[in-house]
């Protein structure tokens, strides 16, 4: 795999991190970052980390550092349309766009194939998926992604429109996609990245000012990484995919899901509903936390990391 840029100055990942380019089946260029486990520790396997919408591999350097201290390698992807991966579809590269969420499964397959080409000790694979990555990850499990266990943080298993407004979201996105407005930014979103326009006060991501400042610094120092709001086409594709996933039985893979008690970005009711019928699953609600439990205050991160370590260790 050809070497790709990795902005270590803002990633703060463990030593030995590298990034690579790879191609999906349709030729879309993607980026992977691999951070190894701390040497000398009991190796506990590789974590496939699926980021959320608008994210990039550097955002998870600190998470990879925490996983490395548990004995895990971390492999993170820039999904098509974000980070340094190819941005196709809309003329404005700041608009997040995808025509069908099935396209992301090409990215998953490319990532999984890359695992077998990386030098690492033998060990199990795990999934850790956040927000939109949780939607992509759930579909991947249904399609046979071979992991020993999965963990989700604020998974996008439902779009958080008030129930009475959901018909409007469906209608407006469908009309936009059939009247030449597919690349119009979705209602309530902008062409700018969230952390550039939203001050820390009342942000919907984290209650930790230091972690929020880090996200702002990443956007300031490397603006090529960031993304603005989603397109109407993305919105319609997301509505279709989350509805389809809600109609499927829960996978048999052991799962642990974290939900911030103050979740405002994805639909908490859909998360609760799926976890209630996930036979080998457990839901942990983190009181007072926002959407990004992996980037919350230190006390929350310690508790979440301990739960992750226990969950993954129980399924080696």
State what percent of residues in the chain have pLDDT above 90: 93
281 three-class SS: strand
Of 26, 5, 128, nearest in space to 75 by CA: 128
Pairing state between β 3-4 and 18-23: antiparallel
Per-residue pLDDT for 116 more than 90?
Answer: yes
Return left, alpha or beta for 269; rule: phi > 0 is left, psi -120 to 50 is alpha, else beta: alpha
Distance CA 161, CA 242 (A): 13
- Helix, strand, coil share (%) of the chain residues, nearest 5: 40, 15, 45
Degrees to nearest 5, angle at CA 80 with 46 and 101: 90
What is d(CA 189, CA 230) in angstroms, rounded to the nearest whole number? 7
- 86-100, 154-168, 228-242: which has the minimum mean pLDDT? 154-168
Q: What percent of the chain has pLDDT over 70?
A: 98
Q: Determine the Cα–Cα distance for residues 125 and 127; give it in Å rounded to an integer.
A: 7
Q: For 230-276, what is each residue's pLDDT tens digit?
A: 999 999 999 999 999 999 999 999 999 999 999 999 999 999 999 99
pTM of the model: 0.97
Nearest residue to 246 via CA among 167, 315, 159: 159
Tally of domains within the chain: 1
pLDDT for 164: 64
CA distance 274 to 97: 26
Cα distances from 311 to residues 61, 182, 202, in angstroms, run 21, 41, 32
Mean pLDDT in residue range 152-173: 85
What's the rounded Cα separation, in Å, for the pair 112 and 213? 32
Interval 119-140: pLDDT, tens: 888 899 999 999 999 999 999 9
Which whole-number Å values give the CA distances from 267 to 54, 87, 130, 218, 251, in the listed order?
Answer: 18, 27, 13, 27, 20
Could you tell me which of 3, 29, 30, 28 has the C-alpha nearest to residue 18? Answer: 3
CA-CA-CA-CA dihedral for 316, 57, 142, 29, to nearest 10: -130
Q: Residue 160's pLDDT band (boundaries 50, 70, 90)?
A: confident
Per-residue model confidence as pLDDT tens digits over 29-45: 999 999 999 998 999 99
Residue 135 near residue 163, CB atoms below 8 Å: no
Work out the mean pLDDT of the chain and round it to a whole number. Answer: 96
Residue 162 pLDDT > 70, yes or no? Answer: no
Residue 1 has pLDDT above 90, yes or no: no
Instruction: Report DSSP state, residue 58.
Output: G
Q: Residue 156 is part of which domain span? A: 3-313
- Contact present, 250 and 281 (Cβ < 8 Å): yes
Using alpha carbons only, give the angle 166, 168, 171 rounded to the nearest 5 degrees.
110
Please write the tens of the pLDDT for every residue from 4-62.
999 999 999 999 999 999 999 999 999 999 999 999 899 999 999 999 999 999 999 99
Output the pLDDT for position 66: 97
- Return the CATH number at 253: 3.40.50.1820
Q: What is the pLDDT of residue 129?
A: 99
């Amino acid at each position: 795999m050809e070497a790709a840029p990795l902005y270590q100055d803002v990633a703060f990942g463990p030593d030995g991190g590298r990034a690579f380019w790879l191609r999906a089946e349709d030729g879309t260029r993607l980026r992977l970052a691999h951070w190894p486990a701390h040497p000398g520790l009991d190796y506990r396997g590789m974590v496939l980390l699926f980021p959320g919408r608008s994210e990039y591999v550097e955002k998870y350097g600190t998470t990879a550092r925490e996983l490395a201290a548990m004995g895990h390698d971390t492999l993170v992807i820039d999904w098509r349309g974000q980070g340094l991966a190819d941005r196709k579809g809309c003329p404005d590269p700041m608009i997040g766009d995808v025509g069908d969420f099935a396209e992301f499964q090409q990215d998953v397959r490319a990532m999984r194939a890359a695992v077998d080409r990386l030098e690492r000790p033998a060990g199990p694979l795990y999934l850790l998926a956040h927000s939109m990555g949780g939607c992509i990850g759930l579909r991947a499990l249904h399609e046979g992604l071979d992991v020993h266990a999965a963990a989700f943080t604020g998974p996008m298993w439902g779009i958080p429109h008030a129930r009475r407004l959901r018909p409007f979201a469906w209608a407006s996105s469908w009309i936009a996609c059939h009247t030449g407005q597919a690349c119009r930014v979705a209602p309530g979103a902008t062409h700018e990245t969230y952390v550039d326009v939203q001050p820390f006060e009342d942000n919907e991501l984290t209650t930790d000012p230091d972690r929020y400042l880090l996200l702002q610094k990443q956007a300031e120092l490397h603006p090529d990484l960031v993304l603005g709001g989603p397109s109407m086409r993305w919105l319609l594709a997301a509505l279709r995919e989350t509805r389809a996933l809600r109609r499927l039985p829960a996978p048999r893979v052991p799962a642990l899901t974290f939900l911030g008690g103050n979740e405002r970005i994805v639909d908490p009711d859909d998360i609760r509903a799926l976890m209630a019928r996930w036979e080998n699953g457990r839901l942990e609600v983190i009181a007072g936390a926002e959407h990004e439990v992996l980037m919350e205050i230190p006390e929350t991160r310690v508790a979440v990391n301990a739960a992750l370590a226990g969950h993954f260790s129980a399924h080696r």
